[in-house]
Amino acid sequence: MPDLLRFPLAEGLTRFAPTSGTMNEPLRQVVHLLFGLGIAGFILLFDRDLTLSTLVLTLFAGFILSDAVSRGYTIPVVSAIIANLERRDAAPGRGALFFALGALFCLVFFEKAIVFDGLVVLSLLDSVTTLAGTRFGRTRIYNHKSLEGTLAGATVTAAALCLLVPPPAALATAAVAAVAELVSPVDDNLVVPVVACLALTALL
């Protein structure tokens, strides 16, 4: 396998990569949650032009790194993270790239405060739904997803959103976003934030 660069740090991290062909789903969801809340906070705290430029640069660099990894190059830290956190049937870094792309789209078309709330919805809903569904899911309803996971994700998201918007808007947005996450034919990182932002714009 060709190497772009090789450092002891990267080699050390690589030791933690799964050897059984499966990634660490709980860790992946925790990282997804923190990554999403981090982007949401950045968008809320900083100037709109700065956040737009940062997201564009992040996407550009991310696609370059993804392409390099898919071609077989080993990139310090990045390759180890992907080995631990990315699903085996996905392009390298696809989840993070789609999350950033969804955030960028929302920031172009919606107000900053709405985008912040929408990304909080995505971060919580996706992570809690997956974690609860993996641990407690028994009733499969659609797209191999469980009723228990969907209800848990919607409940936690609604509770958190009640701290940011009026409860009726929080409950309605969480419900609509949960349905979108359940039935979306494409990556939910692209669909859920847009649906959440549309719902919040209509309700607030």
Q: Give residue 37's pLDDT band: very low, low, confident or very high (50, 70, 90).
A: very high
Note the pLDDT tens digit of each residue in 140-166: 888 788 899 999 999 999 999 999 999
What are the helix and strand counts (H, E) for the chain?
9, 2
Total-model pTM: 0.82
Between 189 and 31, whose confidence is greater? Answer: 189
Distance in angstroms (rounded) separating the CA atoms of residues 36 and 25: 16
Handedness of CA 109, 112, 116, 117 (dihedral sign): negative
Terminal-residue alpha carbon distance, the chain: 53
| Residue-wise pLDDT tens digits, 6-25 | 434 334 333 333 444 456 77
pLDDT at site 58:
93
DSSP conformational letter for 3: B
- DSSP 8-state symbol, 163: T
pLDDT digits (tens, 9 = 90+) for 56-65: 999 999 999 8
Q: How many Cα atoms within 13 Å fall on the side-chain side of residue 82?
A: 25
The amino acid occupying position 25 is E
Strand extents, DSSP E, the chain: 140-142, 145-146
Are 43 and 116 in contact by the 8 Å Cβ rule? The answer is yes
Q: How far apart are CA 130 and CA 36, in angstroms?
A: 15
Can you give the pLDDT at residue 75?
Answer: 83
Lowest-pLDDT range of 21-25, 113-117, 197-201 = 21-25
CA gap 194, 189 in Å, rounded = 9
Q: Stretch 197-204: mean pLDDT, rounded?
A: 95
Residue 18: predicted pLDDT: 42
3-state secondary structure (DSSP) of residue 73 = coil
